[in-house]
Amino acid sequence: MEKIPSRRQFLKDVGKGLKLGALAGAGAALGIGYEKTRQNERNRIYESGDTIKTEVGDFKVDGWHLQYNEAEVKKIARVSLNSEQGGLSKNVSSLARGMQNVALPGQGVWTLKIDIGNETYEYKILPLYHTYENPTSPFYAEVELSTENLQTARRIQQAFGNIVNDPVYVYKSSEHNGFYVDEKRVEISSAVAQSPTYEGQFECVLTHELAHAVVSRIRHAVDQTNNLDLARVFETLGGFTGARNSLLEGEKGLLVNIFDESSFQKNQKVIDGHPYDNHDELFASILTVLRMHPEQLAQRIQDLLKEKNSMKEIAILNNLRAREAVRQIIRILTQLLEENSPFEWKEGANLETYRAQRKEYNEKIRKKLKLIIPKIDELEKGLRLDSLQDEMLAMFEKAGIR
């Protein structure tokens, strides 16, 4: 038989129900409020100094870097980063065990996407840049740079701007590094600009990396003549061995090493060039040395002739090979400048007018070339490049090669 509750018990039970209902309503309200807060966090745009609180840990925005514990995140989630302009993030360095420091280059907002099972969470990030106006190509820095550094960057970008206009980024880092990334952009660490290990390092590294941009253009050209010529020069200088050897220490090292930028520095711990790796690196190193150390390079090449009688013919051959490498770099640069600004022949002009126009055009190209290699006149004269082909033919004839 069912027991019928008394009036007192009935009212007591009703009171409990009202309390439970109130608590349930408050919980629902709290849940909605929490979800709304999380949604607001995902909709906001995070800037430098902000920390993104996520289901898998904290992501700290620092300048144009994003720092997070990759080891912890990988356990339960998958992370991807994409920009509005279609850029790709670059893993710069490990900060500590499991911690990653990811660079977000390019302008615009980045999206941090975290996938946990079937759930996806997205957060917007706006990296911090100092944008500097250069006439030919973009220049961005994560840190403020000195007027001297900015003038150096402007001068070099203007020089190379007649061939390539890849953007340059100076990212915050205490390491001394430079990269040509994804065949799209140059990245240089702030330490190179702000605390160089030798005088002129910022100009040297920027020149080297922009030279890689030039090789990228050469490599992707329809006509592969220049690319093949560079590979041939590399092999002629002793490339394809993968070895590093110092010619300056008196060893019978690789001829290619006389173009190593590092060997021009008093600090032997500096490793800025590696022309022995491939013809891309060789081009970058030769061009950098032609710009930064023209007199010293000319003397080194001349000093190759200082060999004992038994090695005289090899010494002469090495001298010719090194001079030919320089000549090829100058020839290729001249051709690329001409491709960017082709000669315009005016129909109906007589031969005398044509010659005058052609002379004016050649002077214009030469002026652009001097922006890249300021002392090219002295180099060509010192290395006797105008007589190089005759000297090579004479040596071939002497050896019975026709």
Listed residues 102, 127, 152: the one ending a domain: 127
What CATH number does residue 83 fall under? 2.60.40
In SS3 terms, the chain reads as CCCCCCHHHHHHHHHHHHHHHHHHHHHHHHHHHHHHHHHHHHHCEECCCCEEEECCEEEEEECCEEEEEHHHHHHHCEEEEEECCCCECEEEEEEECCEEEEECCCCCCEEEEEEECCEEEEEEECCCCEEECCCCCCEEECCCCCHHHHHHHHHHHHHHCCCCCCCEEEECCCCCCEEEECCCEEEEEHHHHHCCCCCCHHHHHHHHHHHHHHHHHHHCCCCCHHHHHHHHHHHHCCCCCCCCCCHHHCCCCCHHHHHCHHHHCCCCCCCCCCCCCCHHHHHHHHHHHHHHCHHHHHHHHHHCCCCCHHHHHHHHHHHHHHHHHHHHHHHHHHHHHHHHCCCCCCCCCCHHHHHHHHHHHHHHHHHHHHHHCCCHHHHHHHCCHHHHHHHHHHHHHHCCCC
Whether 16 is in a domain gets the answer no
Listed residues 64, 95, 127: the one ending a domain: 127
Whether 30 is in a domain gets the answer no
Residue 71 has a pLDDT of 82
Mean pLDDT of 276-282: 91
User: Do both 115 and 148 map to the same domain?
Assistant: no
Band (pLDDT 50/70/90 cuts) for residue 23 is very low
Tell me the pLDDT tens digit for each residue of 189-230: 999 999 999 999 999 999 999 999 999 999 999 999 999 999
User: Do both 397 and 248 map to the same domain?
Assistant: yes
User: Do both 211 and 111 map to the same domain?
Assistant: no
User: Do both 313 and 280 map to the same domain?
Assistant: yes
Whether 102 is in a domain gets the answer yes
Whether 204 is in a domain gets the answer yes
Listed residues 87, 112, 127: the one ending a domain: 127
Q: Is the pLDDT of residue 1 over 50?
A: no
Tally the domains of the chain. 3
User: Do both 143 and 108 map to the same domain?
Assistant: no
User: Do both 202 and 240 map to the same domain?
Assistant: no
Q: Is the pLDDT of residue 336 over 70?
A: yes
Total-model pTM: 0.76
| Winning range, highest mean pLDDT, from 4-13, 63-72, 76-85, 332-341 | 332-341
Whether 5 is in a domain gets the answer no
Residue 13 has a pLDDT of 53
Whether 257 is in a domain gets the answer yes
Domain that holds residue 104: 45-127
Whether 25 is in a domain gets the answer no
Whether 325 is in a domain gets the answer yes
User: Do both 173 and 199 map to the same domain?
Assistant: yes
Band (pLDDT 50/70/90 cuts) for residue 346 is confident
